Amino acid sequence: MQQSKAVRITGTAMLALTVLFCVLPFLSMLSAALQPQGSMPEGIQFTAHPHWENFIDAWNMANITPLLLNSCILVIVVVPCVVIFCSLGGYAFAQL
C-alpha cells in the first residue's frame, strides 16, 4: 500500500522532532560535563579545551566500580535464570 506524500512528510517531520527532543538533552549534558569545574554553561556550548577528566572525577566520587560489579553479577546470574524459568512457563502455557 502506497502512502501519500503528505503522510510521509508528516511522519518524517514528527520523527525529526522526536529525534531532536531526545538528542538535545544528551548534547546539553555532554557540553555541561566538558566545561571546567565550577562554571555554569548557558545552553549548549562546547568549550575549545574540553575537560575529559571530569568523567574520571565523577566516576571516582560516585564510587561507580562496586556498583558496576554488582550490576554485572546480576546480569550474569539473574538474567539467564529468568530466561530459563520464563521459557519453561511459556512452554507450559503453550501446551495448555
Spatial CB neighbours of 47, under 8 Å, sequence gap ≥ 6 = 31, 34, 35, 36
Alpha-carbon gap, residue 78 to 73, rounded angstroms: 8
pLDDT for the residue 61: 93
Q: What is the pLDDT confidence band of residue 8, given thresholds at 50, 70 and 90?
A: very high
Domain count, the chain: 2
Q: How big is the chain by its Cα radius of gyration, in Å? A: 23
pTM of the model: 0.58
Answer yes or no: is 56 within a domain.
no
41 near 35, Cβ under 8 Å? yes
In a shared domain, residues 78 and 32: no
What residue numbers bound the domain in which 2 lies? Answer: 1-51
4 and 40, same domain (yes or no): yes
C-alpha cell at 73: 553479577
- Do residues 2 and 43 share a domain? yes
Residues 47 and 83 grouped into a single domain: no
Q: State how far Cα 52 lies from the chain centre.
A: 19
Question: How confident is residue 69, by pLDDT bands cut at 50, 70 and 90?
Answer: very high
- Tell me, yes or no, whether 57 lies in a domain: no
Mean pLDDT confidence for 20-42: 88
Same domain, 47 and 69: no
Q: What percent of the chain has pLDDT over 90?
A: 68
Of 2 and 89, the structure prediction assigns the larger pLDDT to: 89
> Quick one: average pLDDT of 57-66?
92
Positions of E strands within 1-96: none
**Residue 82 sits in the same domain as residue 37:** no
- Does 75 lie in the same domain as 46? no
Q: Are 15 and 5 in contact (CB under 8 A)?
A: no
Distance CA 35, CA 47 (A): 6
Tell me the average pLDDT across 64-76. Answer: 94
Residue 58 lies in a domain: no
